[in-house]
Structure 1
Amino acid sequence: MPKTPLFQKPAAPQRAIRTAGALPPRPSRRSALLWQLAALVAGALLSAGRIYGGASPFGLALLIGCGTTYLPAAALGCVAGSLAFQPLDTALKLTGACVAALTGRQIGARLGKGSLIPGIAAGCGTLLLEQALIGLAGGVNAADNAAILCTAVLAAGFGAAIRALPAESPRGACLWLAMGTACLQRLSLTGFAPGLAAAGLAMLCCACAGSLEQTAVLSIALAAAVTAASPTLCFAALAAAMGALAAALLCPGERGHCAGVFAAGCVVGALAAPDLTGVLTLGLAAGAGVLLFLLCPDRVLRAVFPPPAPPAAAQSLTGAARKLSTVADTLSDIADTVTAVCARQAPPKGESYDFVVEYTAQHLCQNCARRNACWVQGYSTAMDGMYALREPLEAKNRAELEDLPGQLSVCVHPADLCATVTHGYRLWCSRRQTRARASVLRGALTEQYSAMATALAQMASQLGQAGLPDSRREARVSQLFASIGLEPLECSVCSDVAGRVTASVTVPRTSFSREECRALAEEMSRICRRDFDPPEVAHCRTVTMLRFGERPLFRAAFGMASRPAPPETVCGDACEQFCDSAGRAQMLLCDGMGTGKPAAVDGQMAARLTAQLLRAGFAAESAARLVNVALGLKNVDQESGATLDLLTVDLYTGRAGLFKAGAAPSFLCRGGTVRTLEGSSLPMGVLDSVTGRSTAFALDAGDVVLMVSDGALCDGSGWLCEQLALSAKLGQNPQQIADTVVASAVRRAGARRDDITAAVLRLER
């Protein structure tokens, strides 16, 4: 049916609006004639349809729901189709009902009362009145009464649906396809069901180009229509629906594979056929549907099923990921450009010892009477003498009279010469130090740019893999918080690529107790059908943000013990143990080089910076590079640094990663067997770039990982393996294991004691 407005507006306002260009121009005479012809054909086809029990509601429904412009043509088609395809007594009743519906709609439109209710009242009322009059004459039975009653009720319902659901909408298209499929069954031939073939074609097109939800709804509607028109083809309708759903689930968007899966579903459904005629009917209809589907152009499929636009939240995530990637590429290009330019840049003037010679010649010899004799006639001798002064200058940072070589004995101002050379040398040293410091700062800057670029690229990758929002769950969550008096300002429920669900809710600033958080987690688990942990609560100015994450498969139990090296009271080791918002357990140990407060400053600084970066979502390598830059700038004038021993465990899967930068070996105890985890590298803050080592492995419930600082290895690592195996066998908890290891290390170290720290993680269900 043509796309017309449900209610016709007065002609004058429409003419004024079209003149202003707000509406498209009226269709041409040929186009209008074609639409009228289409209304005539649709009326003839729909009036011919019958469903189980003898009801024929579709022609009358068309007259009740179609646009006023096409009403006469549709009525003519309905009358012609009824007289041509329906039994004579039924055709006469339907003809009277169609004429009454046409008259009722026109009268209602002229009176301004609308045309839907008058059409239903006139058409369906006339049909029921005709049946009642015939019943009074004693010419009908109960089956005829039931058929006419169903026709009237269904005609009113389908007519209202035609009016409410435009044909261009997905629901309207599904309604028209269902009615057309049921009516096409009247044109069945021996062994061929055109309605079933049309249903198979529509299901296949939706399975290939539409969504799984659309395919499910359309398959159910068309299967019901085929079954209602031909109950004997119930098995065939179910077979076609099963094949379409399997195609939409297994290979959406792949035309050849969709056709193959659909055909396989029909073959399986043929096993339920009552006889060979049913098998033949299903095979011919499915074959015709598959053939027409394969011949259908792609542009037609995309016109009917355009690719859906991603939700606004997904678009914003994609845009943010793209921006992060662009920023990462820009930072990386800046770092590479600065490094390349500085590498190719020639040493600036004043970087060689010639600066001292030129400084002396300009400031002392420029106005001397012997300048020509010294720097023109005796140039080689003067240069040799000046270079001979370099060794005493480097040794004592100044030149004295006894240091003057024989080549400079002709100088008439020896004291002034020594003072000028000394001053020039010190200026030269100052320039060299400034350049070296600038080189260090430039190297730190480019390394920081590069590390930030890597970290941002990783974040962009994670953001780009974020799942699409779940609108149904978001509505349930919003309703939950609204029911407790906290109307959410923002609500988001997403599934990531691994299928894990996270929910984020922003409400006006509110404090939550532990019991309230647990109660919220239980309600969220119930309405989302996922097992949620109590939420992470963060307050920001006037709002409170709650983040719910699925409860992981594992949980991490931590233990830590530490002892400073005597006579110091401050330990140079620093340890951080926590679980972040992404469901990962983090355990890191930093050992500052040396002992006492200087080592403690480096260790604490490295541990805290690394922990902050990990909580912000940085990977281990990126965090280590940034901390290395910070330590390098802090210790530019002294040799110091800190080791990094970092363990990251995914509590959902048990996958673990160990990153070491100059750290001592770690130990993994599994089933009573201890394995050493080593990675030789240099500490952070020593070189311009960190050279860490990463190791990946899997953990299971009951596995124990032990990290120690180098102070615990003064007596080797063999005893640590034995002690860890014994503690695991005795069933000690992580804190007891850490205390036992540190106490044993202190006894074994004796007078050679260094800072000793032990950090333990045990994975539990």
Structure 2
Amino acid sequence: MAVFTRQRLRLSAGGAPPMRWVPGVRTSVWLWQAASAAGGALLGAGQVYGGAAPFGLAFVLGCPAGYAVAAGLGAATASLLLQPGILGIALAGSTLCAAVSRFAVKNRRVAAAVGLAVLAAMPPSFWFLRGSVTPSEVARLLCTGLLAALLGAGFAKLPLRQPKGLCLALAVAACCVQRFAAAAFAPGLALFAAAVFCCAVSGTLEQTAVLCIAFCAALTAADRALCPAACAVALGGLAAGCLFPGDRRRCAAVFAAGCGVGALALPDVSALLPLATGASAGLAVALALPQSLLQGLFPPPAPPLQAQPLHGAARRLAGVADTLSDIADTVTAVCDRQAPPKGETFDFVVEHIARTTCQGCTRRSACWVRGYSTAMDGLYQLKPTLETLGKVEVENLPGQLSVCIHPGDLCLAANHGYRLWRSRRQTRARAVMLRTALTEQYSALAGALAQLSAKLSQAGLPDPRRGEKVARFFADLGLETLECCAATDLTGRLSLTVTLPRTRFTETELDALTSEISRLCRRDMALPEVSHCRTVTTLTFSERPLFAAQFGAASRPAKGQTVSGDAFDQFCDAAGRAQMLLCDGMGTGRPAAVDGRMAAKLTAQLLRAGFAAESAARLVNVALNLKSADQESGATLDLLTVDLYTGRAGLFKAGAAPSFVVRGGTPYALEGNSLPMGVVDTLVGRSTAFSLDGGDWVVLVSDGALTDGSEWLLQQLQLCAKLGHTPDRAAETIADAAARRAGDKQDDITVEVLQLVRKGQ
């Protein structure tokens, strides 16, 4: 039954959902029907200079078909009561006929034709009944019909949810409410003042100018005497929108001053009172409206053209990434299908001996024609000897070659050919390694560029208003802003990038800057990231994250070593992510330290540049492979990335020891079997995603901390959590305990601890 009732209500409204008229407004169908009748009554009472009254009929022609009858009844009633004589009767008849046609046929053109036909038939009818019709009455009816058709098309093409439609509706409403003017109060002027002030605060200067033009035309059409006052209000609105957009108090002061300046153009003192009362009433109403309602009525402008290069750059980066990936795939496929080059099998040594020793020998025909199989068997018997000793002597010659009359020359040729063959194989192997490194680097760069492209395409919308505010603030401080960009990403977070001539800031100055910019932007901003490049300084402000990261670390070198082979880094980047990485170089001492520190430094640089964990690890793997071409080397990687806005975390492991999460005082182990970096050509890592909350810990350790297993470490973490240790103290405690347990077998030990702290705790 309820479903049937809702369906009937939809059908009674012509199938058009009523809430689409005004964004964000949801109410019952009957209230919308009542609002349509009230709107028709208001518009049916309006007139323009010369006596034409097109608004009621235009509203019926332009509104949705489901509301046409209610709007027609309201407009017909107002026309009979408030419009004079023949005009009121003619308008009532044409409006009702057009409303019935709209509801029955649901075609605006048919309804407009019916309404205009009824309106055109009225002068002959009244001439027949009354005996006379004045030319002015005929002209008034014709002008009413023409204006009604034009305005009806405007109402239909420009709905209220669009800024243009809202502008048209407000201008028509101002013209109509002026019919109800009382004493020195001009309601149309008050509506004009309220609307243009709201637009100056929340809209753009272009929208304010268009609104001023529309209102001035509407009020002048309603009452010629209001033209100077309307121009004064327009001057105040344009001045407010031009000087202080977005600032209510300053906009109100400038608006009042602009109206005062415009009052100097009034023809006499008597026109000052309608301006003062109307502008004051409109300003009071506008100041009482909430900011959220203003943003709904005057939405922010579309992104400027400056935002388009970001999307263009994103597309170009995506194209470059696809090209690099295709190059890597093509090079790999071609080299895999290519036949082994000549000179890379032992046949090369055999051919070298035959060419240098046997070609001019007198027994060449006997050995290579009649005894071909015996000679070939003998030459191939040289391969094990050459591979074992690196050379062959006369006494090492197999029995098949005992008939050779130049054994010394044969051995020299075999040794020289074997050296050439080994050189060719080494060159081939190095070429294969370099090719693999090149294609792997292409693939890693392609993945990284694709990720950067995705970030650029989701960079969000620029916020020029806040950017201008911040630029003015730095100008007031005497600092020239070379560039000031504000943008809101898809999650609603605001970021600011300010480029200045090279300037040094103290911590106190940065605190004061952050506080003032937070007040200007009405967002809680974090301390900026400061970067100096040659002659410029860049300040990057971001919204303060929901969480903060507290780091702790402790490292102990292996027994008998002064340098640890482990390397680590901990930092928070400009994107609001906490990064913690640990690299363990293979072995101990200085060689392991070189690999570990190289891997940690390169990974940290790539992460700060915006690369994702896996892409950074693949590029570092290529670097370690090239470094370890002549000697075995490599490093494990433990990389933790935590989004401080959401608490989402990702852990990437490449040959690293297990890690641990402490949640609610209870520790859990996170393991991932994989190979270290620099061992194989293609990195084989393991990624794990999980969520963290305030108070949770993540602990990364090198394998030296787990010499005695992980059970004691779980118990130690639980104890540290219960005692409320800080990350630094917990790391030191665990590192000391691991060193005591390892004793003389102590390897490099490193412990890193990250604790997530919710803001406000």
- After TM superposition, the score normalised by the length of structure 2 is 0.64
1:596 is matched with: 589
- The 1:525/1:376 distance shift into structure 2, 3 A limit, reads same
Change (3 A) 1:221 1:643: farther
- Residue 416 of structure 1, aligned match among 409, 413, 431: 409
Q: Is the 8 A contact 2:47 2:175 kept in 1?
A: no
Equivalent of residue 713 in structure 1, options 688, 692, 706: 706
- Select 2:678's aligned residue among 674, 685, 688: 685
Superposition deviation, residue 665 in structure 1: 0.6
Q: Distance in 1 between matches of 2:349 and 2:317?
A: 50
Measure how far apart 1:752 and its partner are.
1.4
1:699-736 alpha-carbon deviations (Å, 9 max, x no partner) = 11100111100011111111111111110111110000
Query: What's 2:555 paired with?
Result: 562
Q: Report what 2:501 is aligned to.
A: 508
Indicate yes or no: 2:733 matched with 1:745.
no
Deviation at 1:581, TM superposition (A): 0.6
Match of 1:552 in 2: 545
Rounded Cα–Cα distance in structure 2 between residues aligned with 1:395 and 1:230: 113
Once residues 513 and 593 of structure 2 are traced to their aligned partners in structure 1, the CA distance between those partners, rounded to angstroms, is: 42
- Counterpart CA distance in 2 for 1:381 and 1:753 is 61
User: Secondary structure of 1:463's match?
Assistant: helix
Instruction: Give the Å deviation of 1:522.
Output: 1.3
Structure 2: distance between partners of 1:659 and 1:542: 38
- Matched residues in 2 for 1:316 and 1:186: separation? 45
- What is residue 674 of structure 1 aligned with on the other side? 667
> What do residues 217-245 of structure 1 show as CA deviations (whole Å, max 9, x unaligned)?
555555555555589xx9xxx9xxxxxxx
Alignment of 1:287-298 (within 5 A): none
Shift of 1:469: 0.9
Q: Tell me if structure 2 keeps the 8 A contact 1:183–1:195.
A: no
Deviation at 1:447, TM superposition (A): 0.2
| Cα offset, 1:638, TM superposition | 2.4
1:341 maps to amino acid: V
Partners of 2:47 and 2:176 within 8 A in 1: no
The answer on whether the counterparts of 2:567 and 2:582 sit within 8 Å (CA) in structure 1 is yes
Aligned to 1:449: 442
Distance in structure 2 (CA, Å) of the matches to 1:221 and 1:731: 67
**1:311 positional shift:** 2.1
Letter in 2 for 1:397: G
Relative to structure 1, the CA distance from residue 347 to residue 309 in structure 2 (aligned partners, 3 Å threshold; closer, same or farther) is farther
* Deviation (angstroms), 1:536: 1.6
| Structure 1 segments (4+ residues) deviating >4 Å | 49-61, 85-88, 182-187, 194-200, 213-231
Q: Note the C-alpha offset of 1:183.
A: 8.0
CA contact (8 A) 2:303 2:462 kept: no
For 2:716, give the aligned amino acid: Q
1:754 aligns with 2:709: no
**Whole-Å separation in 2 of the counterparts to 1:706 and 1:50:** 72
Provide closer, same or farther for how the CA distance between residues 583 and 197 of structure 1 changes in structure 2, counting only shifts above 3 A: same
Q: What is the letter of the counterpart of residue 662 of structure 2? A: C
Q: Pick from 323, 333, 342: which aligns with 1:340?
A: 333
How far is the alpha carbon of 1:428 from its aligned partner?
Answer: 0.4
Residues 195 and 226, structure 1, Cα contact 8 Å, conserved in 2: no
Shift of residue 637, structure 1, vs aligned partner = 2.1
**CA RMSD, aligned part only?**
3.1
CA distance in structure 2 between the partners assigned to 1:493 and 1:58 by the alignment: 48
Specify the SS of the correspondent of 1:555: strand
Q: Deviations over 1:550-595 (max 9, x none)?
A: 1111110000000011111110000100000100000000011111
Per the alignment, do residues 87 and 549 of structure 1 end up closer, same or farther by CA in structure 2, a change over 3 Å counting?
Answer: same
* 2:731 corresponds to 1:731: no
Residue of structure 2 aligned with 1:367, choices 352, 360, 363:
360
The code of the aligned residue for 1:635 comes to S
**In the alignment, residue 654 of structure 2 is paired with which amino acid?**
A
Instruction: Answer yes or no: is the 8 Å Cα contact 1:662–1:692 preserved in 2.
Output: yes
Residue pair 1:51, 1:229 contacting (<8 A) in 2 also: no
Deviates more, 1:556-565 or 1:507-516: 507-516
1:678: Cα distance to partner?
Answer: 0.8
1:356 equivalent to 2:349? Answer yes
Show the counterpart of 2:156. Answer: 201
The answer as to whether partners of 1:586 and 1:648 remain within 8 angstroms in 2 is yes
Match of 2:324 among 320, 326, 331: 331
Q: CA deviation at 1:355?
A: 0.3
Residue 406 of structure 1 and its aligned partner are, at CA, apart by 1.1
Query: Does the 8 Å contact 1:572/1:603 carry over to 2?
Result: yes
Structure 2 residue runs without a partner (length 5+) = 1-39, 53-81, 86-142, 182-186, 192-300
* TM-score (norm. length: structure 1): 0.64
Deviation string 1:533-555 (CA, Å, 9 cap, x unpaired) is: 12222222222211111111111
Cα distance change, pair 536–50 in 1 and its aligned pair in 2 (3 A): same
2:657 alignment partner in structure 1: 664
| Distance across 2 between alignment mates of 1:553 and 1:686 | 40
The aligned counterpart of 2:630 is 637
Alpha carbons 2:45, 2:176 under 8 Å: kept = no
Residue 614 of structure 1: which of 600, 607, 631 is its match? Answer: 607
CA distance 1:218–1:647, change in 2 (3 Å)? farther
1:406 aligned to 387, 394, 399, which one? 399
Amino acid at match of 1:481: F
Is the partner of 1:364 in helix, strand or coil?
Answer: helix
Contact 1:50-1:229 within 8 A present in 2 as well = no
- The one-letter amino acid paired with 1:512 is F
Report SS of the residue matched to 2:635: coil
Task: Assess, with a 3 A threshold, how the Cα gap between structure 1 residues 440 and 58 changes in structure 2: closer, same or farther.
Answer: farther
Q: Is the 8 A contact 1:657 1:697 kept in 2?
A: yes
Residues 185 and 226, structure 1, Cα contact 8 Å, conserved in 2: no
C-alpha offsets along residues 94-152 of structure 1, whole Å, 9 cap, x if unaligned?
xxxxxxxxxxxxxxxxxxxxxxxxxxxxxxxxxxxxxxxxxxxxxxxxxxxxxxxxxxx
Distance (Å, rounded) in 2 between the aligned partners of 1:322 and 1:52: 51
Q: 1:152-180, CA deviations, whole angstroms, 9 ceiling, x for partnerless residues?
A: xxxxxxxxxxxxxxxxxxxxxxxxxxxxx
TM-superposed CA distance for 1:474, in Å, is 1.6
Q: 1:704 to 1:218 in 2, by over 3 A?
A: farther
Aligned to 2:519: 526
Structure 1 residues 324 and 51, CA, compared in 2 at 3 Å: closer, same or farther?
same
Q: How many equivalent pairs are there?
A: 518
For the 8 Å contact 2:655–2:674, the answer to whether it is kept is yes
**Is the contact made by 2:654 and 2:674 (CA closer than 8 Å) also made in structure 1?**
yes
In structure 1, C-alpha distance between the alignment counterparts of 2:179 and 2:327, rounded to whole Å: 71
Q: Which amino acid aligns with 1:757?
A: T
Structure-to-structure mapping, 1:477-492, within 5 angstroms: 477-492=470-485
Q: CA 1:315–1:458 in 2, change beyond 3 Å: closer, same or farther?
A: same
Distance in 1 (CA, whole Å) between partners of 2:489 and 2:746 is 49
How many Å separate the matches in 1 of 2:480 and 2:144?
Answer: 50
